[in-house]
A and B are shown apart, each in its own frame.
Chain A
Amino acid sequence: MRPFDKSFLTPTCPAQREVGNILKVTQLSKSFTGLSVFKNLNLEVPNGVFCALIGPSGCGKSTFFDVLMGVLPMDSGEISWGGRSVNDLKHIAAYMQQKDLLLPWFSLEENALLPAKILKGQKKDGRKAVRDLFARFGLSGFENYLPHQVSGGMRQRAALVRTLTFDRELVLLDEPLSALDALTRSILQEELLNLQLEFGKTVLMITHDVEEALLLADDVVILSSSPMRLLERIHITSAKPRRPSDPEIGRYKEIVLSELKRELTVAQ
C-alpha cells in the first residue's frame, strides 16, 4: 500500500530542462572492506537544477560526495559532465562542507580570496568579485574581521562566498547550514536560493532537513540507508521563492516524510 498518490510525482528530469551541462552518475558503487555503502547508483542532474539529497543520517551521502569529488576512489561506475566522462568532479565542482573551514589566521576577505590565490587560471580581479559578493551577502564592512570575531552565520556566508569564487558551474553542498541556528538558517536558505536563481548554478545539496530541501530544491531525491539507494525522486513544481506555510509545500513534506518513515520501518 502506497501512503500517497503516485501520480502527484512528475517524471524525473523533464526533457525541456536538458540543456547545457548535465551531471550524470551511472552505476556508481563504493564499499568499505566488503561493506557496500552504495551500489549501482544512478543520478542525473540537469543544468541549472537545484537537487537536494535527503536521507537518514549515516546512509552514505557524504561518502557519495567524497567519491564524486575524487577524495575517495570509486569501486566502479561512471561520472560524466556535459556528456564527457570524468574521473571525478575535482576540477568541475565547488565543494562546501558543513564546517566553514575558514582559516583562523586570515580575515574573511583573505579567506574568500584563497581560491583566487591558489587555483590556476583564476581571474585576476578576484578582490573586486569578492567585495561584490560580500556586499551581496551582507558582509560589507566585515572584510578585515577574523573568523572568530564574527557570528557563525557570517562565517558560513564567508565560506559560501569562497565556494562561489571557485567559479564553477556545479556546486556540491554537504549540509551547509545544519550547524546554524534556525533564524540564521532561514536567512541563508533565502540567500542560497537567490544565488542559484541569479547565477544559474547547478546545485547538489545534502541535507537532512526536509523543509530546507522543499524550499530550495527543484528535485528532491530520497535516499535509503545501507546500502544507499535512490528511493524516490520528486520534482517540486511550486514557484520560487516558496514559504514553509505554502499548502503545496506541506503536501510535499508529508510525501517525503512518509517515504522516509517507510524506509526506516523497512530497515528495522
Chain B
Amino acid sequence: MKRRDFLKNAAVFVSGASVSLGALELLDPRQLLAANPELRWGFLVNTHNCVGCGFCVKACKVENDIPLEANVTRTWVERYVITKDGDVVMDTPKGALNGFTSKLIDQNQSGMKQVDDEEIAQAFFVPKLCNHCDTPACVQVCPVGATYQTKDGTVLVDRKWCIGCGYCIMGCPYGVRFFHPVEHVADKCTFCYHRISNGGNTACAQACPFGARQIGNLRDPNDPVAKAVMNQRVGVLRDEYGTKPQVFYIGLNKEVR
C-alpha cells in the first residue's frame, strides 16, 4: 500500500468511526434539561386583595372532582380577626367553600364568637394551598414512591401507586393533604397540573375576581410572579421547617400560622 493511500484510508476510517461514536452516544437527561428553558412553578398570594368570597375553593373542588360537601378541600381561605387587646380569632367555615357571610366566627367547641367592630384592630383573609415545597416533607416519608416532585417543581400523588398509609398526610407541616373520600388515596393541590401544563391558569387563580392568586414561572425573570417574589416583600409559611415553600404571600402577618 502506498503511503498516500494509507493516509487517505486512515483519514476516512477515523472520521467515519468518530461519526458513528457520536451517533451511539446516549443522551444525558441533564443535558436535555439544560437545553430546555427552565421552569419552576411558583404561586403568589396577595392577602390584601382577598375578600373571602371563596370562589377559589368552589372552583378548585369542581375542577378537581373533590366532593363539594365532603369536609376536605385542596385549598381554603382563613379569616383572621385581631383585636385591639392582641387576641387572635380565626376560622374557616367549610374551608370558605361558601365564602364568609357572617360576622360570627366559628370557634369549634367554644361556639360562635362575634368581635365588635370597635374592638377589631386588624382583620383579613389568607388563602391557603399546597406550598409545593422545594424539599417536601410529604414526599420524603412516602414508603412506596407514590408521591413525588416533577422537574418543574409540582408535588403530585400517583393514585395507582398510593397505598393510603397516610404518612404524607401526617408529614405535611401545612396540613394541605387529606384522604380522598372517593378515590381512597392521599390527595392534595396539584397547582392544576393539567391546566398549567397545557397553557392554562389554575382554577383558583382564574376564579379569583380580585387577582389575589397568581401562578407563574419562578425561573423566568419577566414573569409577574417571579418579579414580585424578587422585588417585593413576600413571606412564606412556616419557614422554620426547612421545607422551602414555593407559595409566597404578600402581606403575611406573624399571627398567620
Query: Are these two chains actual partners, yes or no?
Result: no
By a beta-carbon cutoff of 8 Å, the part of chain B in contact with chain A is none
